[in-house]
Structure 1
Amino acid sequence: MDKQLGSCDERILTEDEINMLKNQDKKIVSEFKSIKLENEAKKMWDLFYKRNSTNFFKDRHWTSREFDEIKRKAQAGQKITLLEAGCGVGNAIFPLLDEMQNLFVYACDFSPRAVEFVKENRKYNPDKCFAFQCDLTAHQLNNDIPEASIDIATLIFVLSAIHPDKFLLVLQNIHKVLKPGGHLLFRDYGLYDWAMLRFNPGSKISENFYVRQDGTRAYYFEKEQMKALMEEVGFNIISNDFVRRETVNKKKELTVPRVFLQGKYTKR
């Protein structure tokens, strides 16, 4: 079970946790392997969805609760155009489409297999959703989406899978298709999340950036870094805070500290 701890500043590490981070530095991913991981990123995510099908992630019924901008626009009777950047197999978009009748969703993902799972879902309706494959770091979203046409874009547990050198490209791409005043809603892994501390030597690519055993990668965000990125691209900051939770395993008597960075930003 998860226990909500609310928003917070950076988590203070114990001495054991500090040593866990130091231990990771004993062996860093080689430059050759780092380049190989970047070149094979799409392949690794496609294999991930081949192994796990639609069964790995739970549906995100919390999206409209955590980001009430979506619900407020819907309740006002406005037609909403939403971009789900990194849609996976539709764990966020289908609950939203069930909840809101006046919603149209553009859904894109790096993995062609994930996009096919979205299109094969019995709830997929081309009149309410357009799913397509794209690389957010290279593919121009305005090839598939009219420029300045999106009311709300979501970027939820997506940017962390991308090389940090390309964060700016992704945000610029999304900024281009948002309407002036449109919202970007963000949630991803935060600095010192338990998953970050658990990596073994040989998993660290660069500062806050790691490779998992399955070849997918994960970055852990700092607040000031995200604030600076958003402002450079042309977003105003509404909120930009860590959210902490404790995941409790009663059988193992284990409490795991989770840290996420959650933000709301508007296009200038």
Structure 2
Amino acid sequence: MYKTLFHPSTVTPSWHVSHASLPRHLSQEELDRLSSERTLVSDFKQMKLEKEAQKNWDLFYKRNTTNFFKDRHWTTREFEELQACREFESQKLVLLEAGCGVGNCIFPLLEEDLNIFVYACDFSPRAVEFVKKNPLYRPERCCAFQCDLTKDHLMENVPEASVDVVTLIFVLSAVHPDKMKVALENIGKVLKPGGVVLFRDYGLYDHAMLRFKSGSKLGDNFYVRQDGTRSYFFSKEFLAKLFEEAGFQSVVNEYVLRETVNKKEGLCVPRVFLQSKFIKPAHSQQVCGLLSHNTSKESKPED
């Protein structure tokens, strides 16, 4: 997933994180490279990739077990709702981690906040098993289950309108664009009115997008990796329209621009993510939390 481009000893991540309303500016060379990618993967192969999507992610976790991603301790720093969505400090908070992987986001949260209950689902049965085998997993505080957000009803495991906050972190990009709206509508059914979806994923013109070789393009901003997993790179306009059509309202929707520096090779790698907050309309009810527009905090997300 191009998240370990360099050995950790040679990488110094930039601490100067900027938030922007526009995607990063491309060089002429980068523009030429993208414009030359006109040939798409064949329809037959695309259908095969869709059919084998779950298998490919399961194989990913078989190869990498729990070692590929770092724990995401930055989540509470970036998304204030995980702390602010309460009327009083000891109030229980119900969270849905849609696409939990092996638990890199949920376990730091469970450690930091004793008044949180987490529903955690993932496309990959193997990933869910890793979550359940984690020493920090406790059924009284966490319920992990396998789920294809584009097919399976979340309400089979999560009560309707029971969730305060949904985290959707580097997940929607792995879903075929034609099925993203269905996944969001599925999430909306278990979210409380006034509840929040916290989103972070690959942004348009991220370095990973520019690294794909010829023969990897599935469609506009949509690519396949060598291991058969896929990734979409979001523009803020596409994401806003997608959530609005699924019944959500936009609160914050902006690009996060970072740089990763490889001292040994003398390379500066531009990373682009989209960080957003959407709410399920609450009508006359009070919207959950402060819904702060302040996302300008510097952080070190381990994506």
> Normalised by the shorter chain, which TM-score bucket?
over 0.9
Is 1:145 the counterpart of 2:132 in the alignment? Answer: no
Give the C-alpha shift of residue 161 in structure 1: 0.3
Aligned counterpart in structure 1 of residue 240 of structure 2, from 199, 209, 227: 227
Query: Hey, what does 2:186 align to over in structure 1?
Result: 173
Query: Hey, what does 2:13 align to over in structure 1?
Result: 2
Give the C-alpha shift of residue 76 in structure 1: 2.7
SS at match of 1:24: coil
Deviations 1:198-219 (A, max 9, x none): 1111000000000001110000
Give the C-alpha shift of residue 236 in structure 1: 1.4
Aligned counterpart in structure 2 of residue 76 of structure 1, from 76, 81, 89: 89
Is 1:17 the counterpart of 2:26 in the alignment? Answer: no
Counterpart CA distance in 1 for 2:73 and 2:33 is 34
TM-score by length of 2: 0.86
Is 1:58 the counterpart of 2:58 in the alignment? Answer: no
Counterpart CA distance in 2 for 1:7 and 1:30 is 37
Is 1:198 the counterpart of 2:172 in the alignment? Answer: no
Counterpart CA distance in 2 for 1:23 and 1:231 is 32
Instruction: Count residues with an aligned counterpart.
Output: 267
Q: Which runs of 5+ in 2 are unaligned?
A: 1-11, 282-303
Say if 2:203 and 2:274, in contact at 8 Å, map to a contact too. Answer: yes
Query: Hey, what does 2:41 align to over in structure 1?
Result: 29
Give the C-alpha shift of residue 2 in structure 1: 2.2
SS at match of 2:257: strand
RMSD: 1.0
Aligned counterpart in structure 1 of residue 265 of structure 2, from 242, 246, 252: 252
Counterpart CA distance in 2 for 1:63 and 1:241 is 16
Query: Hey, what does 2:100 align to over in structure 1?
Result: 87
SS at match of 2:17: strand
Counterpart CA distance in 1 for 2:115 and 2:68 is 29
Higher RCO (Cα < 8 Å, 6 or more apart): 2
User: Among the aligned pairs, what percent are the same residue?
Assistant: 62
Counterpart CA distance in 1 for 2:76 and 2:172 is 20
Counterpart CA distance in 2 for 1:123 and 1:239 is 32
Deviations 1:213-262 (A, max 9, x none): 11100000011111111112221111000110001111111000000011
Counterpart CA distance in 2 for 1:231 and 1:185 is 15
SS at match of 2:143: strand
Q: Which runs of 5+ in 1 are unaligned?
A: none
Counterpart CA distance in 1 for 2:233 and 2:241 is 15
Aligned counterpart in structure 2 of residue 128 of structure 1, from 141, 144, 152: 141
Say if 1:234 and 1:267, in contact at 8 Å, map to a contact too. Answer: yes
Counterpart CA distance in 1 for 2:17 and 2:127 is 32
Counterpart CA distance in 1 for 2:229 and 2:36 is 21
Give the C-alpha shift of residue 5 in structure 1: 3.0
Query: Hey, what does 1:39 align to over in structure 2?
Result: 51
Is 1:185 the counterpart of 2:188 in the alignment? Answer: no
**Match for 1:229: what amino acid?**
L
Counterpart CA distance in 2 for 1:129 and 1:63 is 18
Counterpart CA distance in 2 for 1:111 and 1:126 is 19
Counterpart CA distance in 1 for 2:40 and 2:166 is 35
Query: Hey, what does 1:67 align to over in structure 2?
Result: 79
Counterpart CA distance in 2 for 1:52 and 1:154 is 23
TM-score by length of 1: 0.98
Counterpart CA distance in 1 for 2:176 and 2:85 is 33
Per mean C-alpha deviation after superposition, the further-off stretch among 170-179 and 229-238 is: 229-238
Give the C-alpha shift of residue 267 in structure 1: 0.5
**Match for 1:109: what amino acid?**
D
